[in-house]
Amino acid sequence: MCESLYAAVLSDTLDELGYRDQVMRENLNPIDPNWVVAGRAKTILSVDVHYLPEDPYAKEIEAVDSVKPNEVVIGCTNESKQNGLWGELLSTASKMRGARGAIVDGLIRDTKKIVELDFPVFATGTKPVDSQGRGLVIDYDVPVRCGGVLVNPGDVVFGDRDGIVVIPAGIVDEVVRRALDKVQRENHTRTELLEGRTLRQVYDKYGVL
């Protein structure tokens, strides 16, 4: 996705097209605020458990090993507070498969190693617990609700320090085209504001705020 785009302009563009609920909850943030992530959604579904399964990592390994280049892993934990779904080794494996990053609607660990790896991960917080006996991946490549937004496999997700936007697969080209046009109008607006024109003058001219 074009480097000139950012979460806010994509959100505005989706609003204009009638898609007004495509931004994930505000408590999903990048571990490093400078990280930006964009790519096709690779969804993984995890649930809380309270026992030790015989093979606790089977589906999790299968899911990560099936990651394709330019995908962003979407880890749905149903907002778990007990499960540390994501960490350094899953990040490393995903990066080597060509993933762009991961977004987890729950807790992660190994953040120092993940930052050193420079693999963008967004999460609601950290907790140094293993998923074994606490969470179980039960499926992947299925629709999931992450950060309050329904994400389908193949949707485009874009995240930066302002938040995470989900673009339905069928309208990606239209959203990008409109968003790039809006970026250009915002740039003209900024320039003319710095030249001393009033906000009303530039809004009437370019229609952005």
pLDDT interval class at 72 (50, 70, 90): very high
90 is known to lie in a ligand binding site: yes
> By CB neighbour count within 10 A (0-12 exposed, 13-18 middle, 19+ buried), where does 179 fall?
buried
Residue 38 β-bridge partners: 158
Closest C-alpha to 53, from 140, 135, 129: 135
For residue range 77-117, list pLDDT tens digits in order.
Answer: 999 999 999 999 999 999 999 999 999 999 999 999 999 99
> By CB neighbour count within 10 A (0-12 exposed, 13-18 middle, 19+ buried), where does 10 fall?
buried
pLDDT of residue 71: 98
For residue range 179-198, list pLDDT tens digits in order.
Answer: 999 998 888 889 999 999 99
pLDDT interval class at 16 (50, 70, 90): very high
If DSSP states are collapsed to H, E and C, what string results for 112-180?
HHHHHHCCCEEECEECCCCCCCCEEEEEECCCEEECCEEECCCCEEEEECCEEEEECHHHHHHHHHHHH
* Contact (CB, 8 A) for 208 and 186: yes
pLDDT of residue 2: 63
Q: What are phi and psi of 107, to 5 degrees?
A: -100, 150
Give the helix/strand (H/E) hosting 209. none
C-alpha distance across the termini of the chain, in Å: 23
pLDDT interval class at 209 (50, 70, 90): confident
* Contact (CB, 8 A) for 122 and 158: no
Q: What whole-number distance in Å separates Cα of residue 62 and Cα of residue 134?
A: 19
45 is known to lie in a ligand binding site: no
Question: Token pair for residue 60?
Answer: 């999790």
Average pLDDT over residues 132-136: 97
For residue range 142-176, list pLDDT tens digits in order.
Answer: 999 999 999 999 999 999 999 999 999 999 999 99
Average pLDDT over residues 44-52: 97
Average pLDDT over residues 128-136: 96
Average pLDDT over residues 114-139: 97
Average pLDDT over residues 20-29: 98
Q: Position 175: which residue type?
A: V
pLDDT of residue 106: 97
161 is known to lie in a ligand binding site: no
- pTM metric for this prediction: 0.92
